[in-house]
Amino acid sequence: MSETTITQLPDPSGFTSDPFTDVLRDGARKLIEQAIHAELTALMNAFSGDKLEDGRARLVRHGHLPEREVMTGIGPVPVKVPRVRDRGAGKDKVTFTPSILPRYLRKAKSVEDLLPWLYLKGVSTGDFSEALEALLGPNAKGLSAKTVTRLKAGWWKDYEAWQKRDLGNRRFLYIWADGVYFKPRMAEEKQCVLVIVGADEYGRKELLAMTDGFRESTQSWREVLLDLKRRGLKQDPKLAIGDGALGFWTALREVFATTQEQRCWVHKTMNVLNALPKSIQAKANTAFDFFVATYGVKWDKAVAKLVKDRDALLTFYDYPAEHWKHIRTSNPIESTFATVRHRTKRTKGCLSRKTGLAMAFKLMMSAQKKWRKLDGQNRLPEIIQGVEFRDGIRQLQTAA
């Protein structure tokens, strides 16, 4: 019978390995082996001059360690690590452990990053093994509920270490602030997660602070901002972007007194200004006045909400036009936490404080890798120097 007429039965496990994935795994195995042998060669060369009294080499190859599988994003990859033998009599015995493959490594970092995403998408801890088998193959072992529980404890330790990191050599020109509420609520009294994202002098966006607080109170925000200052953030940001929560703005004026304020247009006007072409934006003040005059009589309460924050809604005009789409809204926080809200809506009962914060932290760290830098990075040194911008355009400095 010709091989082309033989029908392969499906894998009883329900997982079908395709040739493309097999090629990728084989390629990954070969690349890992090449990297390991390159490290081994460098080690052997470093000790090539060390000889025993009888002239034999001190360091020699000595077979391999037992083969093990490392779980990766494309399934399990088998690896074998060479051993070396140090024939010297000294106490400082030379051993070989590849830097890319620590001795007890069983899962690639990409797999660990996958776990919080599964959790956020509504997969329960007990179903992780089944979900990972579907994604990575039937050999995705060692990812039981107990393993996930240990990983979540590790996320909390990472979060605690991140909270203490030094900011002394950093400068952030823009900061975005928002308070995020979960449903169901977190079990403790602090019902809100306070988040600050910053853009540094090179245009890179970064999560600066994230902790729980009492409903965005002034005291809670004050503690967050003072902690940034204690960890080395000495220079006031040029501009802060956030919604109308009074607690943040009151605390900001106390801690970073020179920072300008920009109200989030999405929160305030559902992105009305973003829909206008740049040629029209210069007429925003006139349009603002027309809106107030036209609708102020019938809908005075709605107009009053807009008028009271008029200056703060238009602060962005004093910054480069290239930055406007970044600094008009608190979108860096809102878009990321949309996924967190999606997950917590599926959760029954209350989230523990540690679970809620650790989960949000892992999501933010993962999302941060994909955050775009600010457009118009060449304008950032001008902001630092205090160059004046009007309607987004740099103003020429007149001679004294």
**Domain-by-domain residue ranges, the chain?**
1-106, 109-161, 169-394
Greatest mean pLDDT among 137-151, 237-251, 256-270: 237-251
Spatial distance between the Cα atoms of 210 and 368, rounded to a whole number of angstroms: 13
Q: CA 234 from chain center: how many Å?
A: 24
Residue 159: per-residue pLDDT:
93
More confidently predicted of 364 and 373:
373
Residue 357: per-residue pLDDT:
83
Q: How far is CA 157 from CA 74, 114, 153, 232, 278, in A?
A: 28, 18, 7, 22, 46
Tens-place pLDDT, residues 13-35: 444 456 656 666 676 677 778 87
Question: Under DSSP, is residue 39 helix (H, G, I), strand (E, B) or coil?
Answer: helix
As a whole number, mean pLDDT of residues 45-65 equals 87
Whether the predicted pLDDT of 257 surpasses 70: yes
Residue indicated by tokens 């009151």? 250
Whether the predicted pLDDT of 291 surpasses 70: no
* Residue 340's pLDDT band (cuts 50, 70, 90): low
Whether the predicted pLDDT of 3 surpasses 50: no
Residue 383: per-residue pLDDT:
93
More confidently predicted of 107 and 84:
84
